[in-house]
Chain A
Amino acid sequence: MISGTREDHDVAEVVVEVVERVFATVDEVRRSTLAVHAAATAAGRRLSDDDVHGLAPELLARMRRPDEVAVGLGVILEPGLLGHPHLRLEWWQWVAGKDDPARLEVDLRPDSLDFYDYAGTEWFAVPRRTRRRHVVGPYVDVHGTDRYLLTLTMPVEADGEFLGVAGADLPINRFEALVLGRLGAGSAGVVVNDDGRVAFSTSSRWVIGSLCRGEMPPASRPLPGLPWRVYDWS
């Protein structure tokens, strides 16, 4: 196969590289959460609302880094972990029209139309159940950011106890730009998630967000450590 003068990169390789970059940031947040939890445990008390609040400056600093690609970053706790409040998240995000990241304020009252029922979301429930990292999306984030996103989460565990998840939001447009920007002109492929939904594609035959039904390229393989499969050709 003849490739152009620029070096071609394999779709799978580039997608994994971009995703791992975001997971590296999520892992830092996970470690910070574990550190405050360990400090509370060493002091003979349970994790407190203030401890979680104490993660905010670091999250804010990470969000402000010029090379940070995530638009949202934070930690979401297992319901009841703190005692009070029952539900707790510490999440910071870039919002259109604002000069600095803002804390995500969500409605945590179960009776509200706007209730942010995070324990039931796939990005929380799957890492909780499997104790492994997960990628959700693309999906419309109705109660958080109103954007079309990928959400990447990792379980936060201390001595086998599930404390919650650390996670990051990556808008699908940014993900696409990062991958397309690293691919050479010759390589081609479609990335499909475990719902059969297109997460990335180099062809308008498979549009991001649509479900793959009907004819697909013959060869596919799973992407390591991700709930995704790549169909590629060149």
Chain B
Amino acid sequence: MRLHHALFGPLDDAGNRREAVTRRLGGAIALGLLGDGEQLPPEQELATSLNVSTVTLRDALAELREKGLVETRRGRGGGSFVRMSGAGLSALSRERLTEMGVSDLREIGDLHVAVAGTAARLAAERASEAEIERLRELVTRLRAAEGDADVRRIDGRLHIEMAAAAQSARLTMMEIELQGELAQLTWRASAGRSGSELADARRLVVEAIGGRRADRARTLVEQQLGDETLRLIDDHIRLMRDRAGEEG
């Protein structure tokens, strides 16, 4: 519910609204809130929910169409339909990555470390055996995941469930909002690592939680998310330099 709100709720006034809508819808596609082949809600409804004009929404849809993420069919049974396109999502997240600065990326990483690190520590103290079992199942699914989008979704879900296992509704809400934001920025989990690589790392965290080793769980999350932020910053710098090279 909260995730739905993070992606379809009203935009604030800051920044370019068309780009913000494009990113939000891209994030919703990346996380599977809008499924492949699914028809988008009526334009008026979607525009109201996002608190933008239908003109802005149509501009954003045009951009998504150009990136192969939305298909519009005319006539009876027509409308706008979602197309899952890895290339389209990559293009969107590259654009987002160049819009942001290093300090913005560091800020998101800092907040994620604070939220997820604390959640891991508290989960080690408070999670029930059933909750720990659910975290283990998610690691198993992560290992088996094929395709970047699946890896992204399952890893997101693992972080959200970890915050819930900490018995904190507030940390859970913050984690969900961060996942909504990260999905717009990098639809691939953790800079394109495979599911099994990522599962190796996350398994250590879940086993620390299961072993009731609170400090170790926290330290592992801090290290892993810290490294992932640095990788994102490197991607950002490389993209900016490439673009300067193309323009120069």
Q: Tell whether A112 pairs with B31 under 8 Å between CB atoms, given A145-B1, A146-B172.
A: yes
Whether, in the assembled complex, B96 has its beta carbon less than 8 Å from a beta carbon of chain A, the answer is: no
Interface of chain B: mostly helix, strand, loop or mixed: helix
B169 at the interface (CB under 8 A from A): yes
14 contacts between A and B (CB under 8 A): A106-B1, A107-B4, A114-B31, A114-B32, A140-B164, A140-B168, A140-B172, A142-B161, A143-B1, A145-B1, A146-B169, A146-B173, A195-B129, A209-B126
Interface residues of A in 101-131 (CB under 8 A from B): 105-107, 109, 111-115, 122
User: What is the CA–CA distance of A145 and B1 in the complex, to the nearest angstrom?
Assistant: 7
Whole-angstrom CA separation of A1 from B224 in the bound complex: 56
Q: How many residues of B contact A (CB 8 A)?
A: 27
CB-nearest residue of chain B relative to A209?
B167
Stretch at the interface among B152-160, B195-203, B227-235: B152-160
**Residues of chain A having any CB pair with chain B under 8 Å:** 105-107, 109, 111-115, 122, 138-140, 142-148, 195-197, 209-211
Known: A112-B32, A113-B153, A113-B157. A211 touches B128 (CB 8 A): yes
Secondary structure call for the A interface? loop
Residues of B within 8 A of A140 (CB): 163-164, 167-169, 172
Find chain B residues with CB under 8 A from A105 CB: 1
A139 and B164 in contact (CB under 8 A), knowing A144-B1, A146-B1, A195-B130?
A: yes
Encoded as 1 (CB less than 8 Å from any A CB) or 0, chain B from 143 to 183 comes to: 00000000001001100110110011100110010010000
- What chain A residues lie within 8 Å of B156 (beta carbons)? 113
Using Cβ atoms and an 8 Å threshold, which residues of chain A touch B176? Answer: 142, 146
Q: Is B31 touching A113 in the complex (CB atoms < 8 A)?
A: yes
Docked Cα-Cα span, A223 to B129, in Å, equals: 22
Give the one of A105, A140, A197 with max B CB within 10 A.
Answer: A140
- Name the B residues within 8 Å of A211 (CB-CB): 125-126, 128
9 more contacts with CB within 8 A, not counting A111-B32, A111-B35, A210-B125, are A113-B31, A113-B33, A113-B156, A114-B31, A122-B130, A140-B164, A146-B1, A195-B128, A196-B128
